[in-house]
Amino acid sequence: MHLSLISFTAKGAQLCAHIAKGLSLRGQSCSAYTMPRFVCDTGLTPLENNISEWAKNAFANSDGLIFVSAVGIAVRAIAPYIKDKTTDPAVVVIDEQGDFVVSLLSGHIGGANNLALQVASIVGAQPVISTATDCRQIFAVDSWAVQNQLYIADLKAAKHISAALLDGKSIGFASDFAFEGDLPKGLTQKPCSEIGIMVSLDENKKPFGCTLNLVPRIITAGIGCRRGTEQKTIESHLLSELQRHHLSLYALRQVCSIDLKANEQGLTGFCLAHKLPFVTYTAQQLERVQGEFASSQFVTSVTGVDNVCERAAVLGSGGKLIVKKYGANGVTSAFACEDWRIRF
């Protein structure tokens, strides 16, 4: 998680530096800014443009923003750049005295509530969290989904789930995966619920009248292709294979291949379009992968290993092959799934 911090006063700069250090010790990547005249005493980066430009850049390149300032300053700075709760970064505000930490924007999906709690623990402040489910200590499905690497297929359904829980209603829960821990209060596995949650790689499973589909991002696609294969051909092949095997596109965590394809424009373009990491391995790395894989002398003559897509999928996922090699129009693909379970 990359965080951008900013402060505007001498005291605020000292607090900003303290927070950045504390978050860095917790494994967070931090970029902390202040007014140029306070840099020498704090080691922070000088703010060289105006606050609006800083906020614009931080919104585009950070997972979270922390303002050591008045709430009004933060609101005015971020207002032009707020777009959608699924994409906006977390925004947290702390006063320069270090008394209160406010979760201002993207409390659940963006992680501002959790970030506010982290900052509060570092400085000994009081976290201020206003989301209804948190205030009443009710299960927050969107926050839980993010923590479990689950794609939320329908935000309207998520709102209905939260509203029903706040009204004291029981919510159904179904899953294709095992889970650890007890179901949160309000969730039930009884089949009679009219509204509920479905955790599956298939986002079209609808066991409830109103179903919130949550898709775990645990699938690695292994891909091979002829040199120069166009992006649209690769995309058409992959989408067709995913649909044929009842796998959601949103279940993909990454795409893997051999290093000979590291600069293949069709592959890199597909991954960029869908915001998927593209990982490549050497022939030697692929050859060492254990398992039974389809073998091709032609592939061996070109790449130095008998199979690219199946081996790359398994190596990338660290799990097991769930869809074997299939080729069409110069593209071959296979899918592997990591070992994963739900945690409450």
Q: Which tens digits make up the pLDDT trace of 282-309?
A: 999 999 999 888 888 888 887 878 889 9
pLDDT band of residue 261 (cuts 50, 70, 90) is very high
pLDDT band of residue 73 (cuts 50, 70, 90) is very high
Q: Is the pLDDT of residue 75 over 90?
A: yes
Considering the four listed CATH numbers 3.40.50.11220, 3.40.1390.10, 3.40.50.720, 2.60.120.560, the one that applies to the domain covering 2-130 is 3.40.50.11220
pLDDT above 70 covers a percentage of the chain that reads 100
Chain region(s) in the chain for CATH 3.30.420.180: 219-337
Q: Is the pLDDT of residue 134 over 80?
A: no
pLDDT of 39 reads: 86
pTM, entire model: 0.78
HSE at residue 273, side-chain half, CA atoms within 13 A, is: 11
Please provide the size of the chain in residues: 344
Q: Is the pLDDT of residue 106 over 80?
A: yes
The residues near 217 (Cβ < 8 Å, ≥ 6 apart) are 149, 150, 151, 250, 251, 252, 253
Of 38, 37, 91, nearest to 63 by C-alpha is: 91
Question: Residue 337: exposed, middle, or buried by beta-carbon count in 10 A (0-12, 13-18, 19+)?
Answer: buried
219-337: which CATH topology? Nucleotidyltransferase; domain 5 (3.30.420)
Please give the CATH architecture assigned to the domain spanning 141-216: 3-Layer(aba) Sandwich (3.40)
Chain region(s) in the chain for CATH 3.40.50.11220: 2-130
Mean pLDDT value of segment 73-82: 95
Mean pLDDT value of segment 102-130: 92
pLDDT of 85 reads: 83
pLDDT of 305 reads: 86
Residue 101: phi, psi to the nearest 5? Answer: -115, 115
- Residue 145's H or E segment, with its range, is helix 141-147
